[in-house]
Structure 1
Amino acid sequence: MTKSEAEENGWFVVSAPPSQIFLWGGVSGMAAGVIAAMRQYCWGKTPQGL
């Protein structure tokens, strides 16, 4: 949701970025995917390989 969408609908935006995400993913494949998606969604950055 964007600030303009909230204003158009009379909503309040409460921003609190996640500080912790707990995942059970076996060999961490799911955890890595979720963290990559959260980083891109929250901060607009795409993870870079080594």
Structure 2
Amino acid sequence: GGGAWATVDEACAACVRVRSKLEPGADAELMNARYEKFQTLYPALRHLT
């Protein structure tokens, strides 16, 4: 590193600012469930492409 800060935490504290947060939407739980299903199915189906 360049030595400007002693640690990564120190560098982040000096350089990173959170301006806003994005909270999960109402459908996040549904999307997570569908993604889990996709992860289960994909290995069995990927050879079809």
* TM-score, scaled to structure 2: 0.33
- Between Structure 1 and Structure 2, whose CA radius of gyration is higher? 2
Higher helix share: 2
Which structure has more relative contact order (CA 8 Å, sep 6+)? It is: 1
* TM-score, scaled to structure 1: 0.32
